[in-house]
Amino acid sequence: METFVDKNMEVPGKIERDDIVWYDASKAPVTIHGAAEGFFRLPSDFPILDGFKRQSTGVRVRFVTNSPFVAIRAFYEGDFTPTIMPPSSVWGFDLYKRRDDGSEVFVGGFRPPANALDGYESLLYTSGENCYTINFPLLKGVTELYVGVKEGSSIKEPPVYNYLGNPIVFYGSSITHGAAASRPGNTYCAMIAQKLGVDHINLGFSGNAKGEKEIARYISQLKMSAFVLDYHHNAYDLKHLHDTHYNFYKTVRLKNPFIPIVIVTAPSVNPDDTWVSGGVKIIQETYRRAKEEGDKYVYFVDGCHLFDGEWKESCTVDGTHPNDLGFMRMAKVIGRTLTSALENGFKL
């Protein structure tokens, strides 16, 4: 059978020029964000979530350069490719630049070739001196990354993120993980962080966010500006959600008495589903107990309204996982809550 290919969509995967100076992105002046060890989200000796902790969703590197282009040479591992996500998010990278207020704006995507099984090279043209952020793939685990700039250009350390550089930590399901954004910068977690100019850590684990005590204890020890608790979709059943949800919240709160904690129920286009409505009641009970105990920094977001508005039914790829429209609407609602919470009194 003859194959028809749009030549405009072809991506070489290799840069053919000799004026690039390569910098190891794991070393200064480039800085790593969203990772615990190397480019991985959890320490290598963490007792659970072995494969998922190596997936690089939410991991970023930042730097300042006056180069007329930014290039990448990436190497990664992992072979899971879901049918609802494109290569541009599964193993692609994208580039943002910093505005004066710390927020970030999209520059372009480092498009991977279809056969980029272990890594690839790509280049985007830029202009002037800027602080740049490279977002890592949502599913592949990046083992090495090199940042390329034009020979003779400078490369320097980036400025500190807003809120003293303390990240917002997100914990949740495949939706938090990023399924099914079209590229790394379009997860709801990344969109919120870009808008606020704040660092973030994505601890979304597709199908494997079960509210475990180990991950609750780990998160409680992180230095953060805010925490978003969003694992409703991954609970085994409503009893499991009931038995773990308040305890998870309380574990984090006891170690972090003043940070905003935003409790989110599963985003849904069908709020009448018993799994959704039953979970909402359980999570509302966590919120009610927290308020009764005097928690002034806890917030509740009803996921049944995250997709509200025209084209609500077009916010997912499969009835559950958001597309870019769905993630944008999630980012707007959860982002408004986080913005208000942080502006009303960020404390260390």
Phi and psi angles of residue 49, each rounded to the nearest 5 degrees, phi first: 60, 40
Instruction: Count other C-beta atoms under 10 Å from residue 306's C-beta.
Output: 27
Question: Is pLDDT above 60 for 56?
Answer: yes
Instruction: Count other C-beta atoms under 10 Å from residue 102's C-beta.
Output: 17
- What does the pLDDT read at residue 4? 60
Question: Is pLDDT above 80 for 105?
Answer: yes
Helices (H) and strands (E) in the chain, counts: 7, 15
- What does the pLDDT read at residue 199? 98
Q: Are strands 226-230 and 261-264 parallel, antiparallel or unpaired?
A: parallel
What letters, b where the CB count within 10 A reaches 16 and e where it falls short, cover 139-160?
A: bbbbbebbbbbbeebebeebee
pTM for this entry? 0.96
Question: Is pLDDT above 90 for 190?
Answer: yes
- In the chain, pLDDT over 90 holds for what percent of residues? 88
Domains within the chain, CATH numbers bracketed? 7-156 (2.60.120.260), 163-343 (3.40.50.1110)
- What does the pLDDT read at residue 348? 46
Question: Is pLDDT above 70 for 44?
Answer: yes
- What does the pLDDT read at residue 246? 98
Phi and psi angles of residue 263, each rounded to the nearest 5 degrees, phi first: -100, 120
